[in-house]
Structure 1
Amino acid sequence: MKAVIIEGYGGKEQLQYTDRNMPVLKDNDVLIEIEATSVNPVDWKIREGYLKEKIPYDFPVTLGLDAAGTIKETGKKVQKFQVGDKVFTRPDITRNGTYAEYVAVDEGLVVKKPDNLSMEEAASIPLVGLTAWQCLVDFAGIKEGDKVLVHAGSGGVGSFAIQLAKSFGAWVATTCSTDNVEFVQSLGADKVIDYRSENFSETLQDMDIVFDTLGGDIQQQSYNVLKEKGCLVSIAMPPDQDVAEEYNIKAGYVFLEPDGEQLAKIGEKLENETIRPVVGTVMDLKDIKKAHELSETHHAKGKIVLKVK
């Protein structure tokens, strides 16, 4: 099968579109023929070696953490699926990746694709959807009436997080560039802060939740807009617990865990159109270097999707 691999850590020149052996199917696995996958910032962070202490890999590594496609084979203990089912998934990060024509995934991490989504749209969802869910629902305990700030609302995670927060009845503020103001408003953002002309920390106050996707100075300034006993949740860097204690807030870093049950709940919101997928760019798998280059700019709008089939 065709796949994109890296044989060592480094820049985008490490990405090779090449031939690989088919994945080995375990008893509880389904073999998915992938029609579309997507690029997430964590992909190039893995490629660069930023996560090598957290996730030990044996080279060569097939990258990719989102997949949508059709089940071609099932392990002998599989009960939920059959050959021909259209599915989407965020597989286990330590197994075979999804920049490939096929992937083997434990059936517990696989969900039937909502009928109203194309394969490209379905492939854009698992990682960003689960990330937003685990940050806003699991960690922050979002509820109706909460005031939520989502940083970088036009990106893959941000564009999903705005919609997820709105689906729980929250009031949502977000930051973005001038070009994306109308876009994030179309996702339901109640207040949009153009970071080129306005400082969010001078504009907002008494927020219940801040969803930090950027880290650094942005995270530091975020403490100032939270109410006492509010919540700062980050996917960029672990917050300083001494500072959190000083401000009397809950703060934490979330690293996504794959979860089929949560993905099914997200699928329901997509099926009833409470949330819509946001596909910004579609490329072919063999154009993977260009896709990584775009992701590394931090200015991709919505998700970067790769057509495999």
Structure 2
Amino acid sequence: MTHTPGLPAVMTVIGSYRGLPVSDPQSMVSAELPLPDLRPHDILVRVAAVSVNPADVSRRAAAPEADVPTILGYDAAGTVVALGPDASGFTLGDEVYYAGDVSRPGSNAEYHAVDSRIVGHKPATLTWAQAAAAPLTTITAWEAMFDKFKLTPSNQGTLLVVAGAGGVGSMLIQLAKKLTKLTVVATASRAESRDWALALGADAVVDHSGDFVANVLAQVPGGVDYIFSPYSKGNVENYAKIGKAFSEICAIDGHPDLDLQPLMHRSISWHWEWMFTRSVYETADIATQRNLLDRVATMFDSGELRATLTTEISGFTADNLRKAHELVESQRTIGKVVVTR
């Protein structure tokens, strides 16, 4: 293993000893643990910033009771300080950003071990906080469009982005407008959310808080070709009414009792997107995620994409991470919430 001289033997982490409401001061606490051992493909990153996603909130709430805390966090940006024997594409001192691996300890730590094949080079024009806001939502949006919908630069039609002001929606709108010919219709319910989605490039925004079906069809009378769904429970029948025959839906939220039967008569396809599949199962194409993060970095640096950071909390403490979780848990945030060291 190649490493930066002078690395400490222990590090400060922020995690949970058991699942608790975010209002409980014990829901997230600081602890000291040994630096992680590196797997062959790993790099060790000195973490500079982390963002908080709904997935972080869910993991905290479900943390098992244990003597060693569950280290929370997925998104991170930081500096490479050590390399595993088979790590590729990076050298010591490189600035990186990535979304991590749900099956491993998280990024809410001074140092984080992560597979080099899912790590991208940090966009040079973004701050640490801006970079940390991007990976999980970007990978999710990219895989939904290009792995699931199999979109190409020549694709036309209409994409409906439910919750367009959310983290994934914010990236999906931008990527769709830059890399396809789709008309993008976002949904939002508040004035600030509508303004945000329009500023990111949405062609139109409809209200999802009232008569969802009527509002969408008033904007797109013939129905939509593609639907991105972060809120699927209770919406399948709505999607069956607004989706064209042979349209496609990509969902990122799982529910054990989800009934897809209403989609059958229009032959509407349903896709699942879980951005951790490649890292958890170490698929043969795992490096796809590094490649797409590097591609997106060039788009940020050229000005084609806009950072989605909206709230930056300075100070890497348990209290500040609880504040970030509270904001995300409120489901009223626009863009991304980040905590910086």
TM-score by length of 1: 0.91
Shift of residue 202 of structure 1? 4.1
For the residue of structure 2 that corresponds to 1:42, the secondary structure is helix
Alignment: residue pair count: 303
Question: What is the rounded CA distance, in whole Å, between the counterparts of 1:210 and 1:217 in structure 2?
Answer: 15
Aligned equivalent of 1:220: 237
**1:176-201, Cα deviation, whole Å (9 max, x unpaired):** 12222222111000011133566334
Give the deviation of 1:138 after TM superposition: 0.8
Question: Is 1:187–2:204 an aligned residue pair?
Answer: no
Q: CA offset at residue 5 of structure 1?
A: 0.8
Moved more, 87-96 or 193-202: 193-202
2:51 aligns to what SS in structure 1? Answer: strand
Secondary structure class of the residue paired with 2:34: coil
CA deviation map 1:246-295 (0-9, x unaligned): 22111122211252223223223223222211101111331111111110
2:117 is matched with: 108
Q: Contact conserved, 1:223 with 1:232, CA < 8 A, in 2?
A: no
- Pick the aligned partner of 1:8 from 1, 4, 18: 18
Q: 1:174 to 1:216 in 2, by over 3 A?
A: same
Contact conserved, 2:88 with 2:117, CA < 8 A, in 1? no
**Partner of 1:20: helix, strand, or coil?**
strand
Contact 1:30–1:75 (Cα < 8 Å) also in 2 = yes
Name the SS of the counterpart of 1:288 in structure 2. Answer: helix
Aligned to 1:271: 301
Alignment correspondent of 2:53: 40
1:276/1:27 CA distance change after superposition, 3 Å: same
Shift of residue 94, structure 1, vs aligned partner: 1.0
Tell whether the 8 Å contact from 2:46 to 2:79 is kept in structure 1 after alignment: yes
Listed as ranges, the matches of 1:1-309 within 5 Å are: 1-12=11-22, 13=24, 14-49=27-62, 59-143=68-152, 144-167=155-178, 168-176=180-188, 177-196=190-209, 199=212, 200-203=215-218, 204=220, 205-237=222-254, 240-257=259-276, 258=279, 259-283=289-313, 284-286=315-317, 287-308=320-341
CA contact (8 A) 1:63 1:97 kept: yes
Contact kept in structure 2, 1:159 and 1:184, CA below 8 Å: yes
Which residue identity does 1:10 align to in structure 2? Answer: L
**Normalising to structure 2: TM-score of the pair?**
0.83
Q: For the aligned residues, what is the CA RMSD?
A: 2.1
C-alpha distance in 1, partners of 2:122/2:76?
11
TM-fit CA distance, 1:95: 1.1
Counterparts in 2 of 1:58 and 1:175: CA distance versus 1, 3 Å: farther
Return the alpha-carbon distance in structure 2 between the equivalents of residues 148 and 58 of structure 1. Answer: 47
What is the Cα deviation at residue 111 of structure 1?
Answer: 1.4
User: Unpaired segments of 5 or more residues in structure 2?
Assistant: 1-10, 280-288
CA contact (8 A) 1:150 1:210 kept: yes
Gaps of 5+ in 1: none
CA distance in 2, matches of 1:181, 1:140: 25
Question: Is the deviation greater in 22-31 or in 65-74?
Answer: 22-31
